Amino acid sequence: MNEISLNVRGIAHDLNNQIMILMNALDRVTVLFPDEPDARQAVKAAEHCALLTSQLLPNPSRDTRTAGSSIREVVSEAAMLVRPLLPACNRLDIACPMDCRIGAPAAIQQALVNLCINARDAMDGPGVISIVVEHAVEHTVASVILHVRDTGPGVPAELRERIFEPLFTTKSARGGVGLGLHRVRETVQHSGGTISVGEVVPHGAWFRIVLPVV
């Protein structure tokens, strides 16, 4: 029975990744054709499929695995999902000189993908997204820090306390519903971590995720 459960979770994880690609592609279609009812219906169908598969995936808040998964693999797989979704004028750079193991790898991978897609939309043209991994000790706990940066306009200081709120969005004109960053924060917190946002000099956004090492 345990083997069947593991197989189901593996299939759900792979299926969820493909649904994520479809949802991001459909999001771009709705931007180009905001009044097309078929596109909206397709988005709703994809969201429903994502909800169904999420029920088969382990909840990060209840993930009791102690072995964890390689952060290098998590970042590499996230990059593989993101790169096909970027326009030719965007570049994704990865720097992961060290490796360690974290819990809830599927959830953290999805959080990274969401942050990169947000960065792509924020740049809205030529630009660079980077994911940098480093080791640290936060409050005497061995941790890994994920820096996700972009060269877009950045997040205004007055909005940094609000962007993680549910239903808050700066992309309403393009069909954003304000749940992406809220879900990212929930995922990180359920994994025992924290997330904050800052700015990149001279311009750009900088998200900093701190996760415990297992």
74, 112 contact by CB (below 8 A): yes
94 vs 18: which has the higher pLDDT: 94
The strand pairing partners of 195, in sequence order, are 209
Task: Write out pLDDT tens, residues 165-189.
Answer: 776 666 544 444 444 788 888 889 9
State the pLDDT at residue 176. 46
Measure the CA–CA gap between 94 and 96, rounded to whole angstroms: 6
74, 105 contact by CB (below 8 A): yes
Tell whether the model's pLDDT for residue 96 goes beyond 90.
Answer: yes
Could you state, in order of their start, the residue ranges of all structural domains in the chain?
A: 1-57, 65-212
Q: How confident is the model at residue 7 (pLDDT cuts 50, 70, 90)?
A: low
Q: How far is CA 120 from CA 11, 87, 201, in A?
A: 28, 9, 18
Measure the CA–CA gap between 168 and 172, rounded to whole angstroms: 9
Q: How confident is the model at residue 26 (pLDDT cuts 50, 70, 90)?
A: confident
What's the chain's average pLDDT?
80
Tell whether the model's pLDDT for residue 142 goes beyond 80.
Answer: yes
Could you count the other beta carbons within 10 Å of the beta carbon of residue 176?
16
Percent pLDDT > 90 in the chain is 29
Supply angle C-alpha 34, 36, 38, rounded to 5. 130
Q: How confident is the model at residue 25 (pLDDT cuts 50, 70, 90)?
A: confident
Q: Please state the pTM of the whole predicted model.
A: 0.70
CATH of 65-212, one of 3.40.50.2020, 3.30.70.270, 3.40.1010.10, 3.30.565.10: 3.30.565.10
Tell whether the model's pLDDT for residue 70 goes beyond 80.
Answer: yes
